[in-house]
Structure 1
Amino acid sequence: MNDRLQAPEKEAIALLPPFPSLTMPDVWLVATARDAELADAELRGQTVLGFDTESKPTFVRNETSEGPHIVQFASLTKAYVFQLHDPACRAVAGAVLASRSVTKAGFGLASDVKQIAAKFGAAPNAVVDIDTLFRRQGYRKELGVKAAVAVMFGERFSKSKKAATSNWAARQLTPAQILYAANDAYAAMCVFHALQSGAQAS
């Protein structure tokens, strides 16, 4: 193992050019049965997807989260942000999560997997925590999406703290929430694809 590999410092990441994130035309908000039907048709053709979840924050001590409230998937060109209020949306998201033929790659997924198991009645299959791939390369600490994007692409991935701690259980999500969720999954997909293809910034 190469112990010299370390994640870049926050100060160094801040100086990098921005990561080209998805914009609203590249994101599909899946909130109705019709949305779910159309998204299902597209997702059936995928074998690898970036993956993440979002949950309404808990602020009271010992309060148990009822999340995830959002499940998001992304290809290299598009993201699908599933709200889980509608049974059809939950069914399609659950089918993708349960599929053994679709690899779901993301960062720091331990808590996501536990919440999914509680909400959907079963743990997701074919899940890859990208941090484990970096540890195999010799990184001793978890990188997370920001550091991973910096390592792989020499770019700065921005995440809004306001969006991260917002109400993900709301029926009407803001554009900022939708883009935050979409790009978490998209950045994971980009990093995973780059790792699989051996591409890395010099």
Structure 2
Amino acid sequence: MNATRPTPSKDEIALLPEFDRLGLDRITLVETARQAAEAVAALRDHPVWGFDTESKPTFVKDQVSDGPHIVQLSTLQHAWVFQLTDPGCREQVAELLAHAGHTKAGFGLGDDTRRIVAKLAVAPAAVLELNQVFRQRGYRKDMGVKGAVAVLFRQRFIKSKKAATSNWANPQLSPGQLVYAANDAYAAARVVEALNLPA
């Protein structure tokens, strides 16, 4: 039986140096079918993508979200933030997610997957839930991106609460929203590389 490995506490993580996040120069906002086609061509060469989604938060009891409003996919070099307003863009995102030839890795993807099925009518294929990988390696608690970055890189992953609870359905995403969204997916890509998982 594997010994349980400790998950770093918030206080321990707070003392670590900052994780080097992607800047806006390495993030592409994808709004149209043409931009989506360019993103697909760039992503196709990479077998593993960091993956996440964002939905406009709901603040009223029993209110059902119509998200996701954006989907983020990232390689180790660059991230793409897809807005799902344009039908042509939405269709290409659905095809990307349904394609079993590329691994989509992220944290806490159960809710993301359910929302994608409801909104895009596809089930994401080849999804790698990184929390499960850490559990298999002896970490009892869900790691999340902050815990994983702390364990693997001894660094602190910054997440803005303001960005997290912002309006992801807004047609004009702010630079802060783009950096927040892209880096959730980018960090997942970095974690997969560091875990050195078998292909």
Indicate the TM-score class for this superposition, using the shorter chain for normalisation.
over 0.9
Q: Report the equivalent of 2:183.
A: 183
| 1:59 alignment partner AA | F
- Matches of residues 33-112 of structure 1 in structure 2 within 5 Å? 33-112=33-112
- Matches of residues 11-26 of structure 1 in structure 2 within 5 Å? 11-26=11-26
Whether the aligned pair in 2 keeps the contact of 1:117 and 1:123 (CA below 8 Å) is yes
SS of structure 2 residue aligned to 1:21:
coil
SS of structure 2 residue aligned to 1:146:
helix
Whether the aligned pair in 2 keeps the contact of 1:75 and 1:186 (CA below 8 Å) is yes
TM-score, scaled to structure 2: 0.97
CA distance in 2, matches of 1:177, 1:63: 23
CA distance in 1, matches of 2:81, 2:23: 13
SS of structure 1 residue aligned to 2:57:
coil
Distance apart, 1:81 and its partner CA: 0.3
Residues 10-32 of structure 1: per-residue CA shift (max 9 Å, x gap): 00100001000000000010012
SS of structure 2 residue aligned to 1:100:
coil
CA distance in 2, matches of 1:167, 1:3: 42
Whether the aligned pair in 1 keeps the contact of 2:43 and 2:75 (CA below 8 Å) is no
SS of structure 2 residue aligned to 1:90:
helix
Residues 74-108 of structure 1: per-residue CA shift (max 9 Å, x gap): 00010000000011211121111000000000000
Residues 110-139 of structure 1: per-residue CA shift (max 9 Å, x gap): 100100110111211000000000000001
Whether the aligned pair in 2 keeps the contact of 1:3 and 1:140 (CA below 8 Å) is no
Moved more, 33-42 or 130-139: 33-42
SS of structure 1 residue aligned to 2:196:
helix
CA distance in 2, matches of 1:172, 1:60: 24
TM-score, scaled to structure 1: 0.95
Distance apart, 1:147 and its partner CA: 0.5
Distance apart, 1:183 and its partner CA: 0.0
CA distance in 2, matches of 1:196, 1:109: 20
Q: Report the equivalent of 1:144.
A: 144
Distance apart, 1:142 and its partner CA: 0.3
CA distance in 2, matches of 1:16, 1:122: 39
Whether the aligned pair in 2 keeps the contact of 1:27 and 1:79 (CA below 8 Å) is yes
| 2:9 alignment partner AA | E
CA distance in 2, matches of 1:116, 1:4: 34
CA distance in 2, matches of 1:125, 1:191: 19
Tell me the C-alpha RMSD between the 2 structures: 1.1
Count of equivalent residues: 198
| Overall identity of the aligned pairs, in % | 56
Distance apart, 1:197 and its partner CA: 5.7
Q: Report the equivalent of 2:158.
A: 158
Q: Report the equivalent of 1:170.
A: 170
CA distance in 1, matches of 2:178, 2:89: 16
CA distance in 2, matches of 1:112, 1:27: 21
SS of structure 1 residue aligned to 2:89:
helix
